Amino acid sequence: MKKFIGTKLVEAEPQEKDGKEGYKVKYPDGYESWSPKEAFDKAYFAFSGGDKVLESDVESFISMYEDSRFDACTCVVKATLVNGFTILEHSSCVDPSNYDHEIGINICKQRIKAKVWNHLGFLLQTAKDGVN
């Protein structure tokens, strides 16, 4: 069998079934089903804005940051996203005497957030309109 990647925009609310935690799921065509909590949580990310990406969505999609000073002028930041994907960014200054690690971290984080915003926008667009 071939493998497929699917992205759907659904509505859901917590619901127990036979004593198990899960979600009642409603699809865009009105079809309703039930999904176990573990499977649902692995497949879906809750957008705060519903049908648009908000800054809070971007921030909650980033699970952790790691930073280091690469050399006398360069800061490197690695962000790990909730799905395990990583994004690396760096910032550098010309003169090592001007190096400020906190400024470098902030520059990198802003660049990372811009990339995550773009990725989440792509994901949401695919979920809304499919891949046709």
pLDDT at 132 over 90: no
pLDDT at 50 over 80: no
pLDDT at 6 over 90: no
Whether residues 60 and 100 fall in one domain: yes
61 in a structural domain: yes
48 in a structural domain: no
Domain that holds residue 91: 55-129
Over the chain, what is the mean pLDDT? 95
Whether residues 80 and 125 fall in one domain: yes
Residue 111: predicted pLDDT: 98
- Integer Cα distance of 105 and 94 in angstroms: 16
Report in angstroms the alpha-carbon separations of 74 from 91, 95, 98: 6, 10, 11
Whether residues 118 and 72 fall in one domain: yes
102 in a structural domain: yes
6 in a structural domain: no
Q: What percent of the chain has pLDDT over 90?
A: 86
- Integer Cα distance of 67 and 25 in angstroms: 39
Whether residues 84 and 38 fall in one domain: no
pLDDT at 131 over 90: no
